[in-house]
Structure 1
Amino acid sequence: MKQQFTTDVLIAGAGAAGLTLAIDLARRNVAFRLIDKLPSPFAGSRGKGIQPRSQEVFEDLGVIDRLVAVGGTYPPQREYRADGSYEDSPVMGQREAAPDEPYLIPLMVPQFLTEAVLRERLAELGHRPHFGCELTAFEQDAEGVSAHVMSADGDQTLRVRYLVGTDGGKSYVRHALNIEFPGETLGVRAVVADVRLEGLGTDAWHRFNEGSMEKQTSFCPLRGTDMFQVQAPIPIEGDIDLSPAAMTAWVAARTGRMDIVIREVLWASAFHMNARMADKYQVGRVFIGGDAAHIHPPTGGQGLNTSVQDAYNLGWKLAAVINGAPEKLLATYEEERRPIAAEMLGLSTKLLEAARARGDMRRGRETQQLDLGYPESSLSLNSPARSPDRVMAGDRAPDAPIRGAAGQPTRLFKLFQGPHWTLLGYQVDRAAIAPRRDLHIHTVGVRGDIVDESGYVRDAYGVSAGDWVLVRPDGYIGAIVSSGEIAALYRYLDDVGLLRGL
């Protein structure tokens, strides 16, 4: 008897990760429902940094210009000395623009504005989150998942093919699956709050008593708003009063500044910093991602970015399997994303230790996530083997300026944009690859549809005549093969569900 499904995918948790996954499924015409137990969208700015790699993701999803418009760049950090003097320095080291990396520096967008932009994009695609809907139980079998949801409209049971928990650090889905969440509490308790204040300008990220875990306090102007984000370590135990008057008093005690007055506290949280990662990202037909799978200290701005990229990795794989690709493709989600989370947890913890020991908040290229990739993944094919000093399968696919054969300038990222795979052939026989569903083929060379007149594609990808480069829907290189190994490319395309004759 044929299964009757309410929808294909249920996403529990409508934060940045859940919204990203929903947008990716929506643009692939996959049926889903996005729910969140909160009665309304999250109103705080806990995650505010969008790293260059996530900016590339958001370009693909069609929201990068909107995010820049509602946010802005980080101001210089202004470190105050005991005598009231100060020194300004950039948050990030400066670097030159390069054709292969279009986004240079982190973007500051308060989390509630990022999520508002994502909800707007989701609405354009015909969907919305359902707030006030709580996942209370679920059972799975070989064919699907039965999920029990409670809302103001009453309880209901949804029959879905897959369930994804993007429901935060205290994830119900993770707990229900009995997935261990090992790691450590890092011995730091902090407050983060969105406030309106008087006494400080918006031209700098004001930092007082750096390196002191008793008195350190920072005030970061939140781009796109008239608010500041206050961050400060607080005692491990005990209640803390986060009213405007109480915050004004402890700011004065810590900074010696009587002119800094907190007028309004719009959102605040006192929390223990943790570094934890789930033992598994998948149990049968149920997955976890984002903070449900890993939680980070805020240093380095890695948490929201890693969460968004979890969803970006999982979305195309779920869609592919629902549309007929082999089920084993879904196992590569954990295979690829869990090592990334481990690396980012290590980086965030290292940066926290530097901040505790020396007050050092400078951030280098390692925080930008451009060098992360999946070279060891079972989805990464180099045939024949390539020199390690060249771009490899599993690496992020570089951008490059090009021209179309009709003469108009464009970029590789514009060719990649969308839910499809992209196959680039460099001085190849175009007829060697027959059209396939969800595969866009472009060639450079005689009768090619793109022109690499400055050699940027050749140099960025390290290709020679006869080479084919297959770019995944999430902007990573799936395969690099020579024309002599074209049979390996055929097998790869079949294995990921890119079927011939459709």
Structure 2
Amino acid sequence: MFTESGFTIIAGAGPTGLTLARQLSRHGVPYRIVEKSPRPFDGSRGKGLQPRTLEVLDDLGLIERFLAAGGDYPELLAHLPGGGTHRFHLDEPHEPTPAVPWPNMLMLPQWRTSELLADGVPVEFGTGLTGLTPIDGGLRVTLDTGETVDARWVVGADGGRSTVRKLAGIGFEGETHEQERLFIADVRLTGLDRDHWHVWPGEGRSFRLGLCPLPGDGWFQLTAPPSPLSPAELVAAVDSSITVTEVGWTSEYRANMRMASRFRAGHVLLAGDAAHVHSPAGGQGLNTGIQDAYNLGWKIATGSSAILDTYEEERLPVAAAVLGISTRLHRLHAEGADDAMRRDDPVLRQLSLNYRGASLAVERRPQPGPVRAGDRAPDAPLAGDRLFDRLRGPRFTLLAFDWTGPLPTLPVPVHHVSEAAEIYGTAGPTLLLIRPDNYVGCATHDVADIVAYLGRIGL
């Protein structure tokens, strides 16, 4: 027996799967989250959280814990082959604004991101998914424990080698550059300050070694071209005064840029690396996966197959654009471009990603302002609090700007926020309906448009 929204199986307990679990939980959707690995991931891997992801974490009620655990990206210190040093930033620090409270990327090793997201989430470790069989209204899921479970929805958040994607027969298009590899390791060491991200260039424009201090308990993330040398030998080769005292997680990254041909196949949905894999350049992959889950969770909760169709409609183009950005940055690295390390393109912060033109972005104003249907809802100072405080939670919210006329009884909270009109660029009496993922769903001067939109959602 399915609930109205539908019991969901989430395969994969990385940041994407855990974010989805949290979304489903607060919408009251029953789920199980299974993870084939016997224990939580323990490496640094994706270590940057973009400003838009920080806003997602704020909405989930986790931002203070993440800010306390993470830190700013340090200044880079290049140790030049001929002696001397060169200091620079990936991106110059940005000051918070009323519309963007967290304008800078937060550094946090991936294991810690997962740990914070997993707090209170009942992950079933050591449990993999081996089979999917269609049944009336859903899927029969076979687990590697021998158990079978009937679910309305199965979400593959199980990484680039996704079992769910393969069982669903969804193609994974793109390319792998076998010759372009990078060795990554988490190390502890002595003899090096933790105030800088240390980089040793090679001859010409080549890269030799990087040591980035990670927030927390003394680890550095080591990056280097593949080599038969151990991490200790790699470090000693650039500076014999530095001593590696411990080696943790290690991995070898292959340049792999791919995207699923579909994000939905019947009762199967894909999110995160199962749907798209990126170069680590630009810190986009983990963040895009978290935002996949943020988009998907409330749509599963509606119980509407038509609404779930908009998940692919909205997220596939975004993933394709992000994949293009990270691939371009990867090529700059591979070609040894002078500006290969720069990360000052505002698009990387993911605040400008939008769903304009999609079917759930209804813009009814003859002269839209700068914030339109399909755009992220920016923050704004209000009397006694912030707009984000009023948007927080698993619901639609109606914002009324300079609205003096009557409003019918609506199944959503209504906030009169005329003091935010300048940030939102509204002109005259205006209504903006904000979705549970804090994007503008409907923008209008006519309350009938809001009523019609809510009816379509099933509210």
TM-score bucket of the superposed structures, by smaller chain: over 0.9
Aligned to 2:341: 361
TM-aligned CA distance change 1:213 to 1:163, over 3 Å:
farther
Aligned to 1:319: 301
Matched, 1:60 2:59: yes
Shift of the alpha carbon at 1:4?
A: 9.2
- 1:157 corresponds, among 133, 148, 158, to 148
Distance 2:202 2:310 in 1: 42
TM-aligned CA distance change 1:55 to 1:210, over 3 Å:
farther
Task: For residues 45-74 of structure 1, give each alpha carbon's deviation from its aligned partner in whole angstroms, at most 9, with x where no partner exists.
Answer: 101100000000000001111011111111
Matched, 1:181 2:144: no
Shift of the alpha carbon at 1:350?
A: 1.3
* TM, length-normalised to structure 2: 0.95
SS in 2 for 1:358: coil
SS in 1 for 2:153: strand
SS in 2 for 1:377: coil
Shift of the alpha carbon at 1:215?
A: 4.7
Where do 5+ consecutive residues of structure 1 fail to align?
404-408, 445-451
Shift of the alpha carbon at 1:358?
A: 2.1
Structure 1 segment 254-403 matched on structure 2, within 5 A: 255=238, 257-321=239-303, 326-356=304-334, 357-358=336-337, 360-364=340-344, 365-387=346-368, 390-403=370-383
How many positions carry a matched residue from both structures?
454
Shift of the alpha carbon at 1:3?
A: 6.0
Shift of the alpha carbon at 1:132?
A: 0.6
SS in 2 for 1:216: strand
Structure 1 segment 230-241 matched on structure 2, within 5 A: 230-234=222-226, 240=228
SS in 2 for 1:344: helix
Matched letter for residue 135 of structure 2: D
Task: For residues 389-423 of structure 1, give each alpha carbon's deviation from its aligned partner in whole angstroms, at most 9, with x where no partner exists.
Answer: 621100110110001xxxxx101100000001110
Structure 1 segment 203-222 matched on structure 2, within 5 A: 203-209=195-201, 215-222=207-214
TM-align CA RMSD? 1.8
TM-aligned CA distance change 1:386 to 1:221, over 3 Å:
same
Shift of the alpha carbon at 1:429?
A: 4.5
Q: Percent identity?
A: 40
TM-aligned CA distance change 1:50 to 1:3, over 3 Å:
closer
Matched letter for residue 301 of structure 1: G
Task: For residues 463-490 of structure 1, give each alpha carbon's deviation from its aligned partner in whole angstroms, at most 9, with x where no partner exists.
Answer: 233210011110110111003xx32222
- 2:161 corresponds, among 162, 170, 175, to 170
Aligned to 1:489: 450
Where do 5+ consecutive residues of structure 2 fail to align?
none
Matched, 1:226 2:218: yes
Shift of the alpha carbon at 1:142?
A: 4.3
Matched letter for residue 482 of structure 1: H
Matched, 1:421 2:400: no
> Is 1:211–1:358's contact at 8 Å kept on the other side of the alignment?
no
Matched letter for residue 372 of structure 1: L
Distance 2:33 2:295 in 1: 18
> Is 1:386–1:392's contact at 8 Å kept on the other side of the alignment?
no
> Is 1:210–1:358's contact at 8 Å kept on the other side of the alignment?
no
Distance 1:167 1:429 in 2: 50
- 1:466 corresponds, among 415, 418, 429, to 429
Task: For residues 360-404 of structure 1, give each alpha carbon's deviation from its aligned partner in whole angstroms, at most 9, with x where no partner exists.
Answer: 2111222100111100211001113334x621100110110001x
SS in 2 for 1:174: helix
SS in 2 for 1:479: strand
Matched letter for residue 433 of structure 1: P
SS in 2 for 1:193: strand
Shift of the alpha carbon at 1:150?
A: 2.1
Aligned to 2:416: 443
Greater mean deviation of Cα atoms: 223-232 or 137-146: 137-146
Shift of the alpha carbon at 1:312?
A: 0.2
Matched letter for residue 226 of structure 1: G
Matched, 1:192 2:192: no
Distance 2:70 2:268 in 1: 35
- 2:236 corresponds, among 245, 249, 252, to 252
Matched letter for residue 385 of structure 2: T
Distance 1:160 1:492 in 2: 29
TM-aligned CA distance change 1:212 to 1:376, over 3 Å:
farther
Task: For residues 147-194 of structure 1, give each alpha carbon's deviation from its aligned partner in whole angstroms, at most 9, with x where no partner exists.
Answer: 01123xxx2100111100100010001111111111122441111111
Task: For residues 248-303 of structure 1, give each alpha carbon's deviation from its aligned partner in whole angstroms, at most 9, with x where no partner exists.
Answer: 223333x2x11222221110001211111100000001101000000011110001
